[in-house]
Amino acid sequence: MARTRVNGVEIFYEIEGDGEPLVLVHGSWTDHHSWHAVLPQLTRTHRVLVYDRRGHSLSERPPGQGTRVQDEDDLAALIEMIGTPVHVAASSFGGSVALGLAARRPELLRSLAVHEPPLTAVVAGDPELDRLVREAQAPIDAVMAEVRAGEPEAGARRFVEDVVFGPGAWDGMPDPARRTFVTNAPTAADEQDDPDWNTVDLARLACYTGPAMLSKGTDSPPWFGAIVDRLAQVIPGAQARTLDGEGHVPHLTGPHRYGENLLAFIASTGSGAGP
């Protein structure tokens, strides 16, 4: 277990394996443990850094409204700490962080692999997609209302059962996973309060010319696929991949296949080793 102070905040991180550096960026509600199922596969060929983003689990939660730009700056500092450039793989809101950094600091990235970033603003204006996003946002708003009312466990349960996995899923989760969701609920609400949480500068992102892979699952809501397709059009040479039978968290539900896909992409860039 290690900690470092970046941008005035203490960040928890772990490094395992040998080879070219690979940084994994987790999504909302979770922490570095969300990558543990896929780590043994990745650390055979890469020096892998996992960390808890600011406000999550073992990292410091600073007071006041946070921003995704702060998360991007934290990621930049960690990359500079282990040596640049690095491969970055990220999921959900972590993918939004990674894409934001790619737009601002492309020189830090050797390659970028992102699964289903919730950047809904990039597909705004399509009537059908707008309707789907509004329908998806309604239960999330109910979750955040409970969290902001000081009921993080109720909000976490609602998020797991109404947004992610379905009825009964909360009681079926291991106790540590439930505790993680409850602990990180306030940060999830804070992320939603950032006015720029769901957008990225597409003009600057179009200047990122490094290797990029954007993936979506066939079992995910269709607006995630629309976001991935739009971003793939923006980033020069980006690969768009569809993971059959997977949803929003393939590194949890299908870790071996997720790892194979990631390693194959990295190998295709001329760096690292394949599966």
Beta-sheet strands, E only, within 8-96: 9-16, 20-25, 46-51, 86-91
144 lies in the same domain as 233:
no
Q: Is residue 273 part of a domain?
A: no
209 lies in the same domain as 103:
yes
Tell me the per-residue pLDDT of 172-211, one tens digit each, with 9 for 90 and over. 999 999 999 999 999 999 999 999 999 999 999 999 999 9
Tell me the per-residue pLDDT of 120-178, one tens digit each, with 9 for 90 and over. 999 999 999 999 999 988 999 999 999 999 999 999 999 999 988 889 999 999 999 99
Q: Is the pLDDT of residue 274 over 50?
A: no
Phi-psi region of 8 (alpha: psi -120 to 50; beta: other; left: phi over 0): left
Lateral strand order in the sheet of 20-25: 2-6, 9-16, 46-51, 20-25, 86-91, 109-115, 212-217, 239-243
171 lies in the same domain as 206:
no
Q: Is residue 275 part of a domain?
A: no
Token digits of residue 39: 């780590």
Q: Are strands 212-217 and 86-91 parallel, antiparallel or unpaired?
A: unpaired
Domain that holds residue 142: 127-193
**Alpha-carbon distance 95 to 101, whole Å?**
10
Q: At 86, give phi and psi (nearest 5°).
A: -135, 160
Q: Is residue 246 part of a domain?
A: yes
114 lies in the same domain as 136:
no
- Count of the separate structural domains present in the chain: 2
119 lies in the same domain as 21:
yes
